[in-house]
Structure 1
Amino acid sequence: MRVFVSAGDISGDNHAARLVRELRSLVPKLEVYGIGGDRLKEEGAQIYFHLDDLSVVGIGEVFGRLPAILRAKRGTRRILKTVPPDVVLLVDYPGFNLPLAKTAHVMGLKVVYYIPPQIWAWGRYRVRYIKRWVDKIITILPFERDFYRGHGIDTVFVGHPLLDAIDKKREEDRFIALLPGSRMSEIKNMLSLLLSISKVFPDEEFIIPIASRRHRDFVTSLVERINPKVAVNVGSTYEILSRSKLAVTASGTATLECAIIGVPLIIVYKVSLLTWIFARAVVDIPHIGLVNLVAGERIVPEFIQGEAIEEKIVPVVRRLLEGEGEKMKEKLDGVRKMLGGKGASRRAAEIVAELIR
């Protein structure tokens, strides 16, 4: 039995790895291969194209990675023809994975999309392509189930896999965690601002957890230049968050990690000018942070692009440290409950296993 997996960023690699681990317990002698990162490698997947060469944020960042992306597209087509899988499992990463869904569908392969494109935010016209090319959607966000089912697509909500991955609650109020994002382009756009904010609070203990060792040298060099008092930790973000009183983070999965652990947070996000112009033209959602989208209201402050400046963020950091963070925790607990129960990766694996057999 074979599964081809395509996960093009660190978050997707983590989610895919948990699913593959569960899938192996259901399907003996399973062969897993495709596109991913270190976590999928650890679960025994053969990685033909590493996500570090492919992961981008926005239009401007695509051009620098275009040769690698095109090589991966051509290579993936060859692999699917040469070693056809029983299921093609796509994980997030829509810019690459939606065209791949078409390729796999045309080849007559079963296509499962785990963590589907956020087309409810922009580009809703793409739903017709998903309906045509994808056999089943497995979603981890509760509101996506109704959206995709409303368009006639076979969709299952399994809960959020972070509930399985994170078994920690806040243990102490020690750190202020700075999370500039998992991609190098995000780190370059965000880290200088976060470090500047840290200098305003010399009595606080700041720490930057980094998921990939490949980013350590860049992060460390910038820290040494702007604020050497900030610690850098390569390893578990969850461990750091469980010991944090506050997080200043990029939008994305990290906002849900904070909600699950119960860490008050501020969302800060900056992209290239070209990406921002494009986003302003096409994105139609009231909030950028996943935690706010799941909540259905802005429970966490967001500072995006031009608003992401030290003068606006510092007063909010101060207010949260002085007591407002306690009020936020109650609303974060509500978000945690909306994400479903534990066992999401197992439920997703059972769905994929049924399609393989």
Structure 2
Amino acid sequence: MNNAPHGGPAPLIALLAGEDSGDQLGADLVAALRARYPDARFVGIGGKRMQAQGFESWYDIRELSLFGLAEVVAHLPRLLRLRKELVARLLAARPAVVVGIDAPDFNLGVERRLKQAGLRTAHYVSPSVWAWREKRAAKIGRSADRVLCLFPMEPAIYARHGIDAHFTGHPLADRFPLVSDRAAAREALQLPLDAPVLAVLPGSRGSELARLGGPFLDAARRVAAAIPGLRVVIPAANPRMLERLRALLAQAPQDTTAPHLLDGHAHEAMQAADVVLLASGTATLEAMLAKRPMVVGYRVSPVSYRIAKLLRMLKTDVYALPNILARACGMGERVVLAPELMQDDCTAAKLADAVLALFNDSERRGAIVAAFEQLHRALRADLAGSAADAAAGAIADLMEPLNPLSPPGRGLG
């Protein structure tokens, strides 16, 4: 195996990850690229997982791990200085390719400057162009020579704007088996094999728990009152959320079996459950990959909701990823595999009724599981390899036109 395209010198590859999830993606990508280029040097911004793969981080990844408009505004001068310094350093180093990993607000600006200067750029994880304004796809194309997409419906959107986009598969699809083992998950969580189980996941952020915790826990109590012997498991996303959930449960009436509160173990809780009640977001994709029927609820601030509706910012009438994927994969324009109760419909009574409807309809649960298995396969770009392998292949292909006689990072076109 050559260590660089066309047998040239070992390449310098830059990766820019801005948060914990990007660090995991970056670590897998570094490992997959190193299999192709054993002597490559990897530099940029990354966390502990990437550094464990031999990555050289020029900056602390926590400098980019900001959430919310207020935090970004407060740190804007520092972020602008960091971006200017990073661009200058990359232009001096001239890597063979620069890969921005998610964090579009920061990375797309960096990528645009570098692409204009003649460096090859890729953006790993497409923003949700299928849900929000599609015109953003053209803007992304001005920053990235190639967009690496986690969902199969995304490349066609970019193609309408003449942008090179590749479906590389979703990394989460590699972490779940195609056939979920409920018995093993229940044994790991010390749950009875024959009891009905409901998993409740009211979000991973404090703002989500503030809006959803009350109705979700109330809905769980209603379901427990209607199903004898029901076990309710609630995995906390982190220690801070664990304490907040404990406080909420302490305030609740204890007229049924107390929920089983977990410190983490969300995937095991989903796999152990018969039905999952959860907040809209990535967790719906995880529940789909665990092959568990689900009810999805969500609330945002009333002001944000009205603004989004007024400006017609949303381009879809479904919100949960399993429903979006089902339509994109040709299961029907009106198919809804995961019932959604959004905003004013997200009440304890309606959530409980939707959960009970799934518990009481085994035929429907079986059909949903079969559909989720089909969607799981659709999220694997290459069933013989991982999503990281597919992403590495797309990046290596982008590097291929490099002239081995020219300085690293200088392409022919």
TM-score by shorter chain over 0.5? yes
Partner of 1:156: 166
- Displacement of 1:308: 1.0
Of residues 110, 129, 134, the one that matches 1:124 is 134
Matched, 1:192 2:177: no
Is this contact kept in 1: 2:166–2:394, CA < 8 A? no
User: Paired residue for 1:101?
Assistant: 111
Among 194, 218, 223, which residue is 1:201 paired with? 223
3-state SS, counterpart of residue 200 of structure 1? helix
Q: TM-score, normalised by structure 2?
A: 0.74
Match of 1:218? 244
1:80 equivalent among 53, 76, 87: 87
The one-character-per-residue Cα deviations of 1:9-44 (angstroms, maximum 9, x if unpaired) are x55444344323323333335334426x66556656
Of 379, 389, 397, the match for 1:339: 379
What residue is the counterpart of 2:346 in the other structure?
308
2:315 is paired with a residue of what secondary structure? Answer: coil
Q: Which residue of 1 aligns with 2:277?
A: 248
Kindly state the Cα deviation for residue 142 of structure 1 after the two structures are TM-superposed.
Answer: 0.9
Where 2:45 maps in the other structure, the secondary structure is strand
- The letter for the 1-side match of 2:316 is I
Deviation by residue 1:282-330 (Cα, 9 ceiling, x = unmatched): 1121211111111003221111111111121110111111224233222
1:1-357 equivalences under 5 Å are: 1-8=12-19, 11-28=21-38, 30-34=41-45, 39-40=49-50, 43=53, 46=57, 48-50=60-62, 53-55=65-67, 61-68=68-75, 71-83=78-90, 84=93, 85-167=95-177, 169-172=180-183, 175-202=197-224, 203-213=229-239, 215-226=241-252, 229-280=258-309, 281=311, 282-296=313-327, 297-323=335-361, 324-340=364-380, 341-342=382-383, 343-355=386-398
| Contact 1:170–1:263 under 8 Å retained in 2 | no
Between the aligned residues of both structures, percent identity stands at: 26
Aligned residues of 1:33 and 1:48 also touching (Cα < 8 A):
no
Q: Distance in 1 between matches of 2:145 and 2:253?
A: 50
Deviation at 1:65, TM superposition (A): 4.5
**C-alpha contact 1:53 1:65 (8 A) present in aligned 2:** no
SS of residue in 2 equivalent to 1:124:
coil
What's the secondary structure of 1:332's corresponding residue?
helix
CA separation of 1:43/1:96 partners in 2, compared to 1, >3 Å: closer, same or farther? same
For residues 201 and 298 of structure 2, the distance between their equivalents in structure 1, rounded to whole angstroms, comes to: 11
Q: CA RMSD in A?
A: 3.0
Q: Cα deviations across residues 69-120 of structure 1 (Å, max 9, x unaligned)?
A: 6533432332332355543323334344433433443454432111211223
Q: Distance in 2 between matches of 1:290 and 1:124?
A: 17
Superimposed CA distance per residue, residues 225-247 of structure 1 (whole angstroms, 9 cap, x where no aligned partner):
44783333334432222211111
Distance 2:246 2:106 in 1: 31
| Greater Cα radius of gyration, structure 1 or 2 | 2
Asked if the contact 2:129/2:137 (under 8 Å) is kept, the reply is yes
Cα distance in 1 for partners of 2:279, 2:201 equals 6
* 1:159/1:339 contact within 8 Å kept: yes
The 2-side partners of 1:328 and 1:248 are apart by 15
Q: 1:34 to 1:125 in 2, by over 3 A?
A: same
8 Å contact 1:49–1:72 — kept in the other structure?
no
- Quote how far apart the aligned CAs of 1:136 are: 0.3
Match of 1:58 in 2: none
Q: Judging by fraction of residues, say which structure has more helix.
A: 1
Structure 2, gaps ≥5 residues long: 1-11, 184-192, 328-334, 401-413
Mapped partners of 2:237, 2:37: distance in 1: 29
Q: Does the aligned pair in 2 maintain the 1:198–1:227 contact within 8 Å?
A: no
Gap change, CA 1:82 and 1:212, over 3 Å in 2: farther
* Partner SS for 1:99: helix
- How many residue pairs end up in the alignment? 350
| Aligned residue type for 2:369 | K
CA distance in 2, matches of 1:290, 1:70: 36
SS in 1 for 2:182: coil
Structure 2 distance, partners of 1:148, 1:157, is 11
Q: CA deviation at 1:264?
A: 0.5
**TM-score calculated relative to the size of structure 1:** 0.85
